[in-house]
Amino acid sequence: MHKGVFVLALVVFIPRAAEALDNGLALKPTMGWLHWERFMCNIDCDKDPNNCISEHLYMQMADVMVKEGWKEAGYEYVCIDDCWLSHQRDAKGRLQADPKRFPRGIKKLADYVHSKGLKLGIYADVGEQTCAGYPGSLNHYDTDAQTFADWGVDLLKFDGCYMDWKLLGEGYVNMSKALIKTGASILYSCEWPLYEWPFRQPNYTAIRETCHHWRNYQDVYDSWSSIKSILDWTSSHQDIIVPAAGPGGWNDPDMLVIGNFGLSHAQQESQMALWAIMAAPLLMSNDLRDICPRSKKLLQNRHIIAINQDPLGKQGYCTAKVNDFEVWERPLSGNRLAIAVLNRLEIGGPRDTFIKEVPGWKICSPLCNVTQILPLYKEMGVQNPESNLVVSVNPSGTALLTVIPVSGDFTGLHSLL
Ligand SMILES: *[C@@H]1O[C@H](CO)[C@@H](O)[C@H](O)[C@H]1NC(C)=O
Ligand SMILES: *[C@@H]1O[C@H](CO)[C@@H](O)[C@H](O)[C@H]1NC(C)=O
């Protein structure tokens, strides 16, 4: 018998609200670019060769993402949406890309994107057809999952058109299993709850076990009214959806439309700030080949991205709607808090609000360190619960702050006080 060797076995139970699809993917919200909102189903490459859905579009975006700092900022996935497919499956029943627009096929495109150190996303549909009428994956889940794995695809956006809503859950679960069975690391982006909400409240425990992120609400448009409707839907359903989010699974409020035509700069700042608070996937849909420097700077703002990607992985929520201000907060790692104050009054100029009137301000006890990230980066120093600190918010803009409580040992802080 061996003597003096003791092995202490610890069994640790970590309680979790819901089990995530546990394959090490999407531990932080996905970042990348997705063609839909900006390029839609533009398939006329004779008339519009530069903007049509073809392999060139994704190769050019991949090139720009590397050259212009997007990859370095964290944007990693180059994603194809609807309209890439041929209308016919091949002789072996496999999906195939439109041969005119993707002459080298998806595998070659994936190789190209990988050679740039980026990842490729693709699109398919749980039902009989995609939303734009291309072949759907119903009754072909195993074949299609294997095809995507063979091509080296890294993400699947799986839409929910042309599907009996009562079979949505089964279809999404079956595809999830088919993807896992391939052994490839394919991130799985679902639209299951979006298509189920009109009929009943979706089961977010099951969705989180199945998908890495999931769309809940309508497609984003390039307009402030669209952004507001997404925020309103989210705040009015936050008790149901916020607990479902965490490392491995995220609510997806749809693409960032920053850098397009419809939003003022203040509104672009609001989308960026609130998408960070919501722990949303940051999938830009814009033309990275031609984007205004101010939008680019906002999309690459490392302070906002750090809030979005915070390792605690808790989704934020709305805490107050008062005086045409909307206050959102997000708990961050290190006992920090992000606070967003959105000015919903669309008349007049910038309006001030006392930060001490914001619910989350109670975290500032006995002292805290405040940094404003939007509209301008500003270190606001050490504050106390009675501080008369004021933030100024532009109409339809957002002030974004981080608050770090300072407590315990005050030595070393005297110079700040
Ligand atoms: C899902 O898979 C189960 C088990 O193979 C099968 O019975 C069911 O019909 C499938 N549902 C759909 C929608 O594919
Ligand atoms: C929701 O899904 C979970 C996990 O699949 C399951 O255990 C639970 O019973 C479902 N809840 C309802 C109300 O159907």
Where do the structural domains in the chain lie, given as residue ranges?
A: 2-9+316-416, 17-308
Q: Which ligand is nearest to the CA of 18?
A: 2
Ligand 2 geometric centre to CA of 211 (Å): 15
Q: Mutate which of 16, 176, 203 to test ligand 2's pocket (most atoms within 8 Å of Cβ)?
A: 203
141 CA: nearest ligand 1 atom: 14
Judge if the beta carbon of residue 180 lies within 6 A of ligand 2: no
Q: Is the pLDDT of residue 2 over 80?
A: no
Judge if the beta carbon of residue 50 lies within 6 A of ligand 2: no
What the block records as the tokens of 333 is 């790692």
Q: Which ligand is nearest to the CA of 206?
A: 2
Nearby residues of 207 by Cβ (< 8 Å), 6 or more positions away:
172, 190, 192, 193, 214, 244, 249
| Residues present in the chain in total | 417
Q: Mean of the pLDDT values across residues 168-192? A: 98
d(CA 240, CA 214): 14
Q: Which pLDDT score is estimated for 22?
A: 74
d(CA 171, CA 139): 9
Q: Is the pLDDT of residue 409 over 90?
A: no
Question: Cβ-count burial of 370 within 10 angstroms (0-12 exposed, 13-18 middle, 19+ buried)?
Answer: buried
One-letter amino acid for residue 242 of the chain: V
User: H helices within 189-313, ranges in order?
Assistant: 192-196, 204-210, 224-236, 238-241, 265-277, 293-299, 302-308
Q: Is the pLDDT of residue 416 over 70?
A: no
One-letter amino acid for residue 379 of the chain: E
Judge if the beta carbon of residue 205 lies within 6 A of ligand 2: yes
d(CA 350, CA 347): 9
Q: Mean of the pLDDT values across residues 284-295? A: 98
Percent of the chain whose pLDDT exceeds 90 = 92
Q: Is the pLDDT of residue 413 over 50?
A: no
What the block records as the tokens of 29 is 């919200």
Percent of the chain whose pLDDT exceeds 70 = 93
Predicted confidence (pLDDT) per residue in 42-67, tens digit: 999 999 999 999 999 999 999 999 99
Q: Is the pLDDT of residue 9 over 70?
A: no
Q: Is the pLDDT of residue 15 over 50?
A: no
Strand arrangement, sheet containing 282-284: 250-252, 213-215, 187-190, 155-159, 119-125, 77-79, 31-34, 282-284
Q: What is the dihedral of CA 112, 114, 116, 121, to 10 degrees?
A: 90
Q: Which pLDDT score is estimated for 6?
A: 41
Structure confidence at residue 21 as a pLDDT band (50, 70, 90): confident
Nearby residues of 14 by Cβ (< 8 Å), 6 or more positions away:
none
Q: Whose CA is nearest to atom 13 of ligand 2?
A: 203
Structure confidence at residue 408 as a pLDDT band (50, 70, 90): low
Q: What is the bridge-based pairing of β-strands 336-343 and 325-332?
A: antiparallel
11-20, 231-240, 298-307: segment of lowest average pLDDT: 11-20
109-118, 244-253, 403-412: segment of lowest average pLDDT: 403-412
Judge if the beta carbon of residue 206 lies within 6 A of ligand 2: yes
d(CA 304, CA 302): 5
CATH 3.20.20.70 fits 17-308, yes or no: yes
Backbone phi, psi, residue 122, to 5°: -130, 175
d(CA 66, CA 347): 40
What's the pTM value of the predicted model, to 2 decimals? 0.94
Q: Is the pLDDT of residue 368 over 70?
A: yes
d(CA 51, CA 44): 9
Q: Mean of the pLDDT values across residues 105-124? A: 98
CATH number of the structural domain 2-9+316-416: 2.60.40.1180
The helix or strand, by DSSP H or E, that contains position 31, with its residue range, turns out to be strand 31-34
- In the beta sheet, which residues pair with residue 321? 326
Q: Mutate which of 170, 200, 205 to test ligand 2's pocket (most atoms within 8 Å of Cβ)?
A: 205
Q: Which pLDDT score is estimated for 18?
A: 58
Judge if the beta carbon of residue 201 lies within 6 A of ligand 2: no
Q: Which pLDDT score is estimated for 23?
A: 82
What the block records as the tokens of 146 is 């294997």
Q: Mean of the pLDDT values across residues 89-115? A: 98
Ligand 2 geometric centre to CA of 328 (Å): 30
Q: Is the pLDDT of residue 414 over 60?
A: no
Question: What residues line ligand 1, using a CB cutoff of 6 Å?
Answer: 167, 170-171, 174
Q: Mean of the pLDDT values across residues 109-130? A: 98
12-21, 181-190, 233-242, 244-253: segment of lowest average pLDDT: 12-21
Mean pLDDT over the full length of the chain: 94
Q: Mean of the pLDDT values across residues 209-232? A: 98
Q: Is the pLDDT of residue 410 over 70?
A: no
Structure confidence at residue 1 as a pLDDT band (50, 70, 90): very low
One-letter amino acid for residue 338 of the chain: A
Helix (H, G, I), strand (E, B) or coil at 296: helix
**On the CB side of 249, how many CA atoms lie within 13 Å of its CA?**
24
Residues annotated catalytic, as ranges: 159, 219
**On the CB side of 160, how many CA atoms lie within 13 Å of its CA?**
26
Q: Mean of the pLDDT values across residues 163-188? A: 98
Q: Which residue has the tokens 């949505």?
A: 168
Ligand 2 geometric centre to CA of 248 (Å): 18
